[in-house]
Amino acid sequence: FVTMSWMIATKAARGADGTDDRPKDVVAAAIVDDGRVLLAQRAHPAELAGKWELPGGRVESGETHAQALSREIREELGAEIEVGARIGAQVMLPNRLVLHAYRARLRSGTPAALEHLDVQWFSADELRLLDLDDVVPADRDWIPELCAILDDA
């Protein structure tokens, strides 16, 4: 019965062409240091290029969210982080991606734009002045909570 359930569940998760259509998780980090949060400016794709985001990326199979986020920040920014509590609500993205954000602290290294156009630390006041058109759409709803976190920090 367990095997049958697994087969049915597996089958249900695959489309007619055999592709896996289960939702995929994307994780993003709100790295907070000295009362500021780090935003990174996307280099691609064209419709998101130049817009600010919480840096992160896709969770690979077998990884926890925290492991994936630590790996992505190492790859993209060259820094080590400690992943903390979740922030905000999850956001549904196109292509069956689900975006989750977590607080994080820097453990070592100085974040650098290895794969982004730029990285910049924003205070709560600077976040409030940011034009939402310059923020990746999926990340816009997190701005008020990020401001609240920084106001408390």
Chain positions contacting ligand DCM, by CB under 6 A: 26, 28, 53-54, 56-58, 93, 97, 99, 136, 138-139
**What is the smallest separation between the CB atom of 10 and ligand DCM, expressed in angstroms?**
25
Residues 6+ apart with CB under 8 A from 107: 79, 80, 81, 82
Cβ closest to ligand DCM, residue 69 vs residue 124: 69
Cβ closest to ligand DCM, residue 53 vs residue 106: 53
**What is the smallest separation between the CB atom of 121 and ligand DCM, expressed in angstroms?**
16
Do 145 and 88 contact (CB within 8 A), yes or no?
A: yes
**What is the smallest separation between the CB atom of 136 and ligand DCM, expressed in angstroms?**
5
Cβ closest to ligand DCM, residue 72 vs residue 150: 72
Separation in Å, CA 28 to CA 7, 10, 86, 138: 32, 28, 10, 11
Cβ closest to ligand DCM, residue 99 vs residue 150: 99
**What is the smallest separation between the CB atom of 80 and ligand DCM, expressed in angstroms?**
19
Cβ closest to ligand DCM, residue 16 vs residue 85: 85
Q: What is the 3-state secondary structure (H, E, C) of 31-91?
A: EEECCEEEEEECCCCCCCCCCEECCEEECCCCCCHHHHHHHHHHHHHCCEEEEEEEEEEEE
**What is the smallest separation between the CB atom of 42 and ligand DCM, expressed in angstroms?**
7
